[in-house]
Amino acid sequence: MTLDLHTLFLVTIYIEAILGLLLLFVWAQNLALRAVCWWGFAHLLRLASIALFGMYGQIPDLISVDLANALLFTAFAVTWTGARVFDGRPVEPVYLVTGAVLWLLICRLPFLADDNSLQSLIASGIITAYTWLTAYEFWRGRDEPLVSRWPAIFMLFAQGALFLLRTPMVALLPGSPGDSLFGSVWMTVLSSEALLLTISDAFILLAMAKERTELHHRTASHGRSGHRHRQSPIVPAKRRAGGQASYRQSAASCRAPDRSRSF
The pTM assigned to this predicted structure is 0.76
pLDDT in tens, 63-100: 888 899 999 999 999 999 999 999 999 999 999 999 99
* Mean pLDDT per 10-residue section of the chain, whose length is 263 residues: 69 92 94 94 94 86 88 95 94 93 86 76 90 95 88 91 71 48 55 80 90 83 57 46 49 45 37
Q: What is the DSSP string of the chain?
A: ----HHHHHHHHHHHHHHHHHHHHHHHHH-TT-HHHHHHHHHHHHHHHHHHHHHTBTTB-HIIIIIIHHHHHHHHHHHHHHHHHHHTTPPP-HHHHTHHHHHHHHHHTSGGGSS-HHHHHHHHHHHHHHHHHHHHHHHHHTTTS--TTHHHHHHHHHHHHHHHHHHHHHHHHS---SS-TTTS-HHHHHHHHHHHHHHHHHHHHHHHHHHHHHHHHHHHHHHHHHHHHHHHTTHHHHHHHHHHHHHHHHHHHHHHHHHHHHH-
